[in-house]
Structure 1
Amino acid sequence: MAEAADYLACIVLIGIGATAVMDLWSIARKWLFGVPALDYALVGRWLGHLARGRLRHDRIAASPPVWGERLIGWTAHYLIGIAFAAVLLAIWGLDWVRHPTIGPALIVGIGSVAAPFLLMQPGMGAGIAASRTPRPVAARLHSLTTHGIFGVGLYAAGWLTSLLNAFLQR
């Protein structure tokens, strides 16, 4: 039972930490390169319509707003980050948290780009891997970079969680 609680605590801490690192990257990217951040209200709108049975939109921005879409989008963003942290720990276990390495974190982080490429972007009207956007190659590079940063965030959050665990076990 204690090990299950450790897994859950580590998953939540690492997922939130990695997602926060990704969000900090998004702020830096906007400031440094003028690239706007993803509007999580639109993610919430897509999810709100998905709950009503509509998966695909021509342009999600043109679809009717959904009540609470910004909160839905931001909540989903962090829950998805936690879910990918769960994938990391499901594969590499608590031993990875005790001694985090960058490889597994990058594998999960970069691998997580499959979700927007194959599900979210097509559903929101941007096509598979942003193929229907004005600059698909640039959009793909931004997605890959952001998910790579998420992988770095998984590693950093894992490292901090390992330090916290070591401190609490004293």
Structure 2
Amino acid sequence: MQNLLSIVIIGIGATAVMDLWGALRKPLLGVPPPNYAMLGRWIAHMTHGQFCHKSIAASPSIAAEQIIGWVAHYLTGIAFAALLIGISGPAWIQNPTMGPAFAVGTGTIAAPFLLMQPGMGAGFAGSKMPNPNAARLQSLLTHMAFGLGLYLSGLAVSLIC
């Protein structure tokens, strides 16, 4: 049970670091933070059997899509924290190291590139976006921030528990 609680805390913390990076992108780089309402819209449309969209922004809005998106975002962060512990072993919680956290965090870029962006109409790895390479770079930086967040959150948990 202690490991499960640690995974939840690490996942939430890492996702919060990712969101902090998302908020800092606007003043630092002029890039707005992600709109998780679109994630919520995409997920909500799946319950009606629609998995792919020409443009998720042009698809009909869904009640509570903002809440659905934010909850899914944090649950995904927790799932990826569980993946990290599954790969590294529970001992990582007591002695976190940057390597596995950064590798898993950066590797999570596969989710938007292979699932979310194609499903939302942005194409494989954002290929249909107005500036695909800039979008890819922002995705990479965001997922690197998540990896850093996994490590920092793991470090915090190891110091507290």
Q: TM-score, normalised by structure 2?
A: 0.98
Q: In the alignment, does 2:36 pair up with 1:40?
A: yes
Higher mean Cα deviation, 9-18 or 31-40?
31-40
- Distance in 2, Cα, partners of 1:29 & 1:65: 26
Q: CA deviation at 1:94?
A: 1.9
Greater Rg over alpha carbons, structure:
1
Partner of 1:168: none
- Distance in 2, Cα, partners of 1:120 & 1:7: 29
Q: In the alignment, does 2:3 pair up with 1:7?
A: yes
Gaps of at least 5 residues in structure 1 are: 166-170
- Distance in 2, Cα, partners of 1:70 & 1:27: 17
- Distance in 2, Cα, partners of 1:29 & 1:106: 20
Counterpart amino acid of residue 137 in structure 1: N
- Distance in 2, Cα, partners of 1:9 & 1:93: 15
- Distance in 1, Cα, partners of 2:104 & 2:6: 16
Q: CA deviation at 1:118?
A: 0.3
Give aligned-pair identity as a percent.
58
String of CA shifts for 1:111-156, please: whole Å, max 9, x gaps: 1000000000000000000000010001001001100010000000
Paired residues for 1:15-164 under 5 Å:
15-164=11-160
Deviant stretches of 4+, over 3 Å = none
RMSD over aligned CA atoms reads 0.6
SS in 2 for 1:10: helix
- Distance in 2, Cα, partners of 1:110 & 1:54: 29
Q: TM-score, normalised by structure 1?
A: 0.93
- Distance in 2, Cα, partners of 1:127 & 1:95: 39
* Number of residue-to-residue matches in the alignment: 161
